[in-house]
């Protein structure tokens, strides 16, 4: 039996100020969920929240550094207090700067692992009691095709691979409470991250995008809404027999 306020389930989406996170937040709101829009700066969440409210949905902007244990816990507590106990969590926030292994500092490694792995742990741990109390829940962790190996970003690839292990372990541990846990692994998605990658390589983004398209089976790169559609299914009541899985949203097979 799910816990709702006024018949509405509550979701938390991290990294939801823009890009994939914003698209996921908007889609879940369209699906009828109240959404806690979490990002580093609360003011940056205003656009996503306004778009949700303009469409008739319910949303709350929450600023939090999810790599900080206290901040992550406080964010969940605030969403629970103002929107209702969260039973859907989408751990989307992530960073992935490029740096060669020999030049990578310990601080750079720790920063990437902090956001990409520690953050999802902190958020999921804080949401866990609400999921268990409700006897129902959905956790979706945003991995990446980089989980199979990323020559340019060993820190990023490592964090995204670890997130898959985290997801499968959650599925095994929380399944008896009616909770599913799955990962989405996007390929090339038009986003701030891919634009930043192009800039760092000194390549025009449109050229970067066209190069990527030539290696993708469906002949195009992805957009944030492609990932949002996948998240919508995985958090739905109809996906109750899908758990511990990795859904590649990459336009083709991934080695």
The string over 106-130, giving b where at least 16 C-beta atoms fall within 10 Å of a residue's C-beta and e elsewhere, is eeebeebbbbbbbbbbbbbebbbeb
248 catalytically annotated: no
User: What pLDDT, in 10s, does the model give residues 188-217?
Assistant: 998 877 777 777 778 888 888 888 899 999
Contact between 87 and 138 (Cβ < 8 Å): yes
Q: What's the pLDDT score for residue 120?
A: 98
- Judge contact between 117 and 157, C-beta under 8 A: no
pLDDT, residue 4, reads 60
Q: 10-187+222-247 has which fold? A: Rossmann fold (3.40.50)
**pLDDT for res 1:** 46
Q: What is the pLDDT of residue 5?
A: 59
Give the pLDDT confidence score for residue 119 in this predicted structure: 98
Q: What is the pTM for the complete model shown?
A: 0.94
- 202 dihedral zone (left: phi>0; alpha: psi -120 to 50; beta): left
Say if residues 15 and 21 touch (Cβ distance below 8 Å): yes
Tell me: the pLDDT tens digits for 167-183? 999 999 999 999 999 99
Query: Which member of 122, 136, 156, 248 is catalytic?
Result: 156
Q: Which residues of the chain are modeled with pLDDT < 50?
A: 1
Instruction: Identify the CA nearest to 88 among candidates 23, 41, 28.
Output: 28
Beta bridge partners of 30: none
Q: What is the pLDDT of residue 6?
A: 60
Angle, to 10 degrees, between the axis of helix 205-213 and the axis of helix 192-201? 110
The secondary structure element, H or E, covering residue 227 is: helix 224-234
């Amino acid at each position: 039996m799910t816990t709702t306020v006024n018949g509405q389930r509550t979701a938390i989406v991290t990294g939801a100020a823009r890009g994939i996170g914003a698209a996921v937040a908007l889609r879940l709101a369209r699906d009828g969920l109240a959404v806690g829009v979490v990002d580093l700066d609360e003011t940056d969440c205003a656009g996503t929240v306004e778009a949700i409210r303009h469409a008739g949905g319910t949303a709350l902007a929450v600023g939090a550094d999810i790599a900080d244990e206290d901040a992550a816990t406080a964010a969940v507590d605030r969403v629970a207090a103002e929107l209702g106990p969260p039973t859907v969590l989408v751990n989307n926030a992530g960073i992935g700067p490029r740096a060669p292994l020999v030049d990578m500092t310990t601080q750079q490694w720790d920063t990437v692992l902090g956001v990409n792995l520690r953050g999802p742990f902190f958020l999921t741990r804080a949401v866990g009691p609400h999921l268990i109390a409700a006897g129902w829940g959905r956790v979706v962790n945003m991995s990446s095709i980089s989980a199979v190996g990323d020559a340019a970003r060993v820190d990023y690839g490592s964090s995204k691979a670890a997130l898959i292990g985290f997801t499968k372990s959650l599925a095994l541990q929380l399944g008896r409470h009616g909770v599913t846990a799955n990962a989405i692994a996007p390929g090339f998605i038009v986003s701030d991250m891919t634009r930043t990658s192009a800039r760092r390589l000194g390549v025009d983004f449109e050229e970067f995008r066209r190069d990527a398209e030539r290696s993708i089976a469906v002949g195009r790169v992805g957009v944030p809404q492609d990932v949002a559609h996948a998240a919508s299914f995985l958090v739905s009541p109809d996906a109750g027999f899908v758990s511990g899985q990795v859904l590649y949203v990459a336009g083709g097979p991934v080695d």
